[in-house]
Amino acid sequence: MDPGVQVDKILYALGSSGKYQRIQLALCFLFTLENSFHLIAAVYIGYRPSYQCQDINTTAYLQRHDHNNITDINVQYDKCKINIFVNSSDSEYQYTEGCLNGYSYDIPEDRSTVTEWNLVCSGAERSELAKTMIMLGQAVGAVIFSPIADRFGRKTGSVISRILYFLTALATVFTPNIEVFLLFRFLQGTFQGGSVMTNTIMYIEIMPKELRHRSEGLMLTAWTTGLVLTTMIGYLCRNMSWRYMQLILSLLTCHTLFDWLFLDESLRWLVANGKRDQTEKVLKKACRMNNVSYESVTENVLLSKEINIIALEETHELNPGKENGLKKEKVERYTVFTLLKHKRILLGSVVLWIAWITNTLTYYGLMLTTSKLSGDRFLNNVIASLAEYPAVILQQSLINRIGRKSTLVIFHGIAGVSLVLATVCTTYGSHYSWLPILGTVFSFVGRFAITGSFSTVFLYTPELYPTNLRNVGLGMASTVARAGSMMSPFAITLAEYISWGPAAVFATMNVIVTISLLTLPETMGRELPTTITELKDWYKDKGGHGTKAKH
Radius of gyration of the chain (CA): 27
Question: Per residue in 479-514, pLDDT tens?
Answer: 788 788 777 777 767 776 777 777 788 888 888 888
486-489 own/partner pairs: CB under 8 Å, 24+ apart: 486/132, 486/135, 486/136, 486/139, 487/361, 487/365, 488/131, 488/135, 488/360, 488/361, 488/363, 488/364, 488/365, 488/367, 488/368, 489/42, 489/128, 489/129, 489/131, 489/132, 489/135, 489/364, 489/368
User: CB of 550 within 8 A of CB of 210?
Assistant: yes
H-only helix segments in 206-274: 212-236, 242-251, 267-272
The enclosing H or E element of 121 equals: none
> Which stretches of the chain score pLDDT less than 50?
1-5, 303-329, 543-551
> For residue 162, what are the CA distances in angstroms to 9, 41, 132, 236?
31, 18, 21, 26
Q: What are phi and psi of 312, to 5 degrees?
A: -80, 115
Q: CA 325: distance to chain centroid?
A: 46
| CATH dotted code for 334-551 | 1.20.1250.20
Please name the residue ranges forming H helices in 103-153: 113-116, 124-152
Rounded Cα distance between 73 and 344, Å, is: 73
The answer to whether the beta carbons of residues 520 and 464 sit under 8 Å apart is yes
Domain boundaries, the chain: 334-551
Specify whether the CB–CB gap between 225 and 120 falls below 8 A. Answer: no
Burial of 69 (C-beta count, 10 Å sphere; 0-12/13-18/19+)? exposed
User: Which pTM was predicted?
Assistant: 0.75
Q: Reduce the DSSP state of residue 252 to 3 states and report it.
A: coil
CA distance 30 to 22: 12
Per-residue model confidence (pLDDT) at position 295: 80
The H-or-E segment that residue 51 falls in is strand 51-53
pLDDT in tens, 410-437: 999 898 888 888 878 877 766 777 787 8
What is the rounded distance in angstroms from the CA atom of residue 28 to the CA atom of residue 49? Answer: 36
